[in-house]
Amino acid sequence: MLPAGIMPVAKRLTLIASFFFITLLVTCYLSLVTVFAGSGLVSTIGGVTFVQGTQQFWHTSARPTFSGVTTASASVTGTVGSQSIASTADSSGNWSWTPTTDLTGDNAITITSASTTASFTLTIGALPANIATASAGTLAPAGSMTPTIVFIIGGFLLLFIGGRGFIGSFSKFNQ
């Protein structure tokens, strides 16, 4: 029989394991939501894939549809030239917006949702001949989240194993 106020070792280990498991799940969920939701605020312009971080983008259509991904039900605001963007993402985080009037020449673009902002110049017209183009087959592939997830899970496993050893060192005093 243990003195009052001292929890049995098995019960403490169960509580610690539960804490680490719940922390692991919450961290993985928040990591995935953040990565997937914020990775493509602007995904396409007029059906053409938009590369994040681009400073200038060319399109031949005077009214290209802007679309992307953000947090579910988040509002998307900003400006396209002199027009204001107002859109709300659906339950999957997808949003789109089409200008109400024709765009011409260079247009300053700023699109914001939550803490993510995309700013660049959209030029309506043909792509200049001196700018190199690449097909999808020659572009570098997008990164993989697998290493990040493996490292997060590995870190939590190490914490769990270390926690068990730490608690085990105290169990000697409770015998």
pLDDT tens-digit readout, 102-129: 999 999 999 999 888 999 999 999 887 7
pTM, full prediction: 0.56
**C-beta of residue 72 within 8 angstroms of C-beta of residue 98:** no
Place of tokens 């995935």: 32
Domain count, the chain: 2
b/e 106-145 (16+ beta carbons within 10 angstroms → b): ebebebbbeebebebebbbeeeeeeeeeeeeeeeeeeeee
54 inside domain = yes
Alpha carbon of residue 12 to chain centroid: 36
**C-beta of residue 16 within 8 angstroms of C-beta of residue 163:** yes
Answer yes or no: do 95 and 169 share one domain: no
**Domain enclosing residue 152, as ranges:** 14-36+146-174
Answer yes or no: do 111 and 79 share one domain: yes
Each residue's pLDDT tens digit, 30-53: 665 544 433 578 988 998 888 877
